[in-house]
Amino acid sequence: LRETIVDGETGWTYPAGDAAALARTMEAALDQRDEAMRRARAGRSMVSDRYERHFVFDRLMEALGGA
């Protein structure tokens, strides 16, 4: 999810394997509901813009040489 989760913009991140950091991150998301919703909306918008099916299909066709 590194392509879609940007700390402070579209979500929260924490070091892999750090259970205490994960717990703090989850607590922050639960305690800051408005911020969590803002980040979720930003993430949805990013994914929609970057991976919209027509855009992805057009890029695939370009990569295949317009086949």
What does the pLDDT look like over 20-33, one tens digit per residue? 999 999 999 999 99
Residue 1: predicted pLDDT: 74
On the question of pLDDT at 65 being above 90, the answer is no
Residue type, 39: R
Which pair of structure tokens corresponds to residue 33?
């509901």
Which pair of structure tokens corresponds to residue 14?
């924490």
| Cα-to-chain-centroid distance, residue 67 | 31
Neighbouring C-beta atoms of residue 12, cutoff 10 Å? 19
CA-CA distance, 16 to 54, in Å (whole number)? 34
CA-CA distance, 16 to 59, in Å (whole number)? 32
What pairs with residue 7 in β-bridges?
Answer: 11
